A and B are shown apart, each in its own frame.
Chain A
Amino acid sequence: MSYSIKERQVVTGLVDRERSDMQGLIARGYNNLNSATYILLQIEEVISARAYFNYLIDNHITSAVNKNAEGEKIKEPDCAVHLAFTSRGLRNLGLHKDIIDTFSREFLEGMDYSYPDPDHPSARIKERSSLLGDTKQNKPANWHWGNDEHPVDCMIMLYATNDAKLYELAYDVYLSKQHGLIQVHEAKTNEYVRDISKEHFGFQDGISQPIIKGFSQSDLKNIDTDKLVNPGEFILGYKNTYNNFSPSPYVNNDADSCGLAMLPGLSDKKDLGKNGTYLVFRQIEQHIDKFWSFLYWRSQESGRNEDEKAIRLAAKMIGRWPDGRPLVTCPERPDLVDAHMFNNFNYVGGDDEFGLKCPLGAHIRRTNPRDQVHTGRNAKDSDEMSGKHRMLRRGRIYGEPLDREMRVNAILDEVKKSPEFNRWRNHGCGSEKGSTGENEKTEINRGLHFICLVSDIARQFEFVQNVWANTSTFADLCNEVDPIISPRPTKDQPDCHEFTTPQDVVRNRYTNVPEFTTVVGGAYFFMPGINALRYLVK
């Protein structure tokens, strides 16, 4: 479907009118703000906490406004502050149960939710953990925050140009002013080095972002308008890909709700979700030593030396070369692709239906399959289906990188000095050695604060994690799950520990592939529009 000039004007006008009510994180990834920290809090004393939140809203919360009253573009902010609540936080704020019940089930339950099995009272049913793969070491009981032991009510997100400014901002906004709150955890991020946005394995991250209709990027000339996504996929109160409104929380239309917009189709309800979004946060620890040791000692891919073979297998697992070039467009080496082509490709359309260039089970192919043919569908329908499960990612890395500039060769050289590397040398073809026990907490060293914004947690985030990443039969594969983010093998899928790289004649198959990441914390948040924020904390 093309994006006509008329539609562009309508959608842009619609979004522009509401920008002052949106928290800025929806519109911006803050690439100019190199430092960030996420403060995870519990509400200890609700009246003081409300007063503090009101202060935050009046003085610090950053909106998505990008033009001044005269319609001229204003410069990007040099700091940003955002506020989001978990369902527990909304309850602790004293929000009425009837209103709380209008939020989506997955948000209300939270990421770590479990309840007693009626048939076996001693056992618990862990629906979300089962869907998301939060089992074994990933299980919520092992988390540092977001579980029963360390529950979270709300999160303050702070962004600044560098670490020094961030400390100043944290002092001004939080440390010197907060009342009625207890800090559960501070999820610090690593200060970005200019122009390097790689994760700890050494791969460029955040390339495949959806471009939203009505936002400035959608006006760029080299954009494929067929790939533009309706704002309602990520912002509540707007039409989504189904040309419908995602379920949004609501309140009665009364004197208290005067600042809120009407709920579409219902004159007696106000839309509490309008200009807000659901925010999914997972802290994912990356095991860099294990990742590169496995690749170095086990790679069967082609290459002039062991390092090259390891990097090629890593690229096959990710689906891109370390600099972000997609394997589909440059399968042999990272060259010959313009920057704007990094995200402008298809799998079937790119002549890679069988995964000879980018393996069918590669991370980026699973999490955004584009026109990868889903079971029994054609490429067009598959492309349409993929478009209904997009996420707007806003994550950042944490922990000191092994190499400041994140060069894979340098990372690999560092890994070669590690005990893990020698363990894999000695047990090269064996199974995973030296892993922590299932009930041990994974230490927080370095990894990714995965953050995404969606209008429907189940349809977007949970679907991708469950159906595409964690399912062993994605793209008709057998015994494979996402090589980067999925647990393996699990009690229910004991044979799920493989990764296959299709070759011209006979594929390479890797067995006993260990887990390279562990989830160490997580929660579902609601990031309201600014008017809704005022309603919630008054």
Chain B
Amino acid sequence: MHRIHSGFTVAVAIKNGESGRLKALLKQLNKDESKSLVDFAGSETALFVSGVILPAQNYHGEMLPETFVLATTFCGPFSRHLDDLLRTSKRGLCEIFRHCEGFPENGLARDIDLAGYLRSHKYRSAFKSRYSGITKKDVQEEKVLRRQIETYLDKLRGLNVLDGLSPKSIKALIQRHIKTHATKFNCADRPARSANFQEILSTWRVAVFLMVFEFFLFLVIALLVTYYICFCTLFFIGFLLITMAVGFGFYIASKKSVTASRPPDSHVRRITATQLHPVINEMTAAAPLKKGQLRKYFYAFALRVISIAGLIMDIPTVSSIRWLVVDKRRRLVFLSNYANTTDFYVRDFLNGTTPKGINFMFSNGMGFPDAVFFYSGGVMTDPEGYMNVIHTHQHVTDLWYAHEQSLTVDNINKNRKIRDGLFKRMSDKEAKEWLRLF
């Protein structure tokens, strides 16, 4: 079974007049320490869970409904995650979706029915996790392992036994120490399973993409070899299609729109108050798309391509991130779990090469600064406009679960390196590098 991280997103319109009650329920679930209704911590697969109510928003004269979004970041196959969610949080999910359209008044008694409901309201997203391949259990075990080695090194240092020892000898002492605590650290005597190529292949989307790509590659080579004229024709058609796509993109991007102005401070305060955890936080933003039928389809298609081809940009402070369009491709939704506090995290998008990717992903949202061909200008030339629009479209996440709130992605990946290297044969130089991880 693979350990790839994926995103599962459900979006359903809320029944008329039910959003107040749903909000109260989400807040209650967020605080519920008895975990009688939802127990995401008891789930083996759920890494992050967000439950947020998107308000009714105006899409060029048409009101988009109040919508509930449930977004999970999970590890492993989707079917397993769904089973896991139902096992640990079925009662709570039924309580939540009772307030949403299409959910029967008397609830859904059978797991299969609730699973069917969730599947039927599932949305695809352009998703990325920055520590894919590492399970929830791994993260905890490796955190404890690191602390144990840290404490042991302190003890050795205090006893003055490290002086004169080679890195390899010190590492051997650590290995011996961990072996004596084998029951506690049975994870550490072998390298962890990483998200290797075979595992990546097990996600069907990538497999299908590769197959299609290989098929066309084969076709092109075959045509090239056998039918030169035919190849030229196909090449010309391909060139024409690409030119048209670029032209469409350019046409959409050339439409001018108004950038959002500063939202009321009270709104920003309400949002930031929920995102002051010292290390890991969550944010949700949702905005109607800018005007244009062509834009709706172009953006939805672009997100699909980006998602399948794994082209989502690397944002350093992100644990997991996703973009999707809901409400018949009229509303852009962005969800993220990240390190830092909200304003500073969003500012991080303005550094290095990230703004170019941000321009593409965000500039279709209403109020975002226009970017030249979705690439240059935009947030780069109007950072304050970008901050304003992010604040304007941010929404309070009433229900949030994070499996580990004190470690950043880089901490987690570093702990993984410690575990992987612990019993690996190393030269003195490699052992020295490994010891620098502490």
Contacts and interface: CB of A to CB of B under 8 A. Distances in A.
Nearest to B274: A125
Given A376-B316, A376-B410, A506-B170, A471 B384 contact: no
B353 interface: yes
A115 B351 contact: no
A495 B150 CA distance: 13
Given A131-B341, A471-B340, A492-B277, A508 B351 contact: no
A152 B177 CA distance: 58
B288 interface: no
Contacts of A131: 276, 341
A473 B279 contact: yes
A418 to B, nearest CB: 27
Interface string A355-382: 0000000000000000000111110010
Contact of A505 (B268, B277, B383, B435): B435
Given A119-B27, A242-B350, A508 B269 contact: no
Contact of A377 (B262, B273, B352): B352
B381 interface: yes
B153 interface: yes
A475 to B, nearest CB: 9
Nearest to B353: A381
A101 B263 CA distance: 11
Given A374-B316, A384-B352, A388-B351, A476 B411 contact: yes
B278 A471 contact: yes
A459 interface: yes
B278 A492 contact: yes
Nearest to B351: A385
Given A108-B265, A385-B351, A459-B347, A505 B340 contact: no
B384 to A, nearest CB: 6
A292 to B, nearest CB: 22
A476 B410 contact: yes
A378 B351 CA distance: 11
Interface string B344-378: 10010011110000000000000000000000000
Given A376-B316, A458-B343, A473-B410, A130 B276 contact: yes
B410 A242 contact: no
B205 interface: no
Contacts of A472: 278-279, 406
B382 interface: yes
Interface string A505-518: 11111010000000
B175 to A, nearest CB: 15
* Among B278, B340, B384, residue most surrounded by chain A Cβ atoms (within 10 Å): B278
A478 B340 contact: no
A511 B276 CA distance: 26
A490 B279 CA distance: 13
A507 B432 CA distance: 11
A466 B167 contact: no
B281 to A, nearest CB: 12
Interface string A113-154: 001010100000101001100000000000000000000000
Interface in B248-266: 262, 265
B273 A127 contact: yes
A493 interface: yes
A115 B269 CA distance: 10
Contacts of B435: 505-506
Interface in B298-347: 314-317, 339-341, 343-344, 347
Contacts of B344: 463, 466-467
B340 A467 contact: yes
Interface in A220-252: 242-244, 246-247
B21 interface: no
A340 interface: no
B110 interface: no
- Among A119, A381, A467, A490, the most chain B Cβ lie within 10 Å of the Cβ of A467
A502 interface: yes
Given A506-B153, A509-B154, 10 more contacts: A101-B265, A105-B265, A115-B269, A467-B340, A471-B340, A472-B279, A476-B411, A478-B146, A505-B170, A506-B170
25 contacts: A108-B265, A117-B273, A127-B273, A130-B276, A300-B157, A354-B436, A375-B408, A376-B315, A377-B316, A388-B350, A388-B351, A458-B343, A459-B347, A466-B341, A466-B344, A467-B344, A470-B278, A472-B406, A473-B279, A473-B339, A493-B278, A502-B436, A506-B153, A507-B438, A509-B154
Interface of B: 27, 130, 146, 150, 153-154, 156-157, 162, 165, 167, 170, 262, 265, 268-269, 272-273, 276-279, 314-317, 339-341, 343-344, 347, 350-353, 380-384, 406-411, 414, 432, 435-436, 438
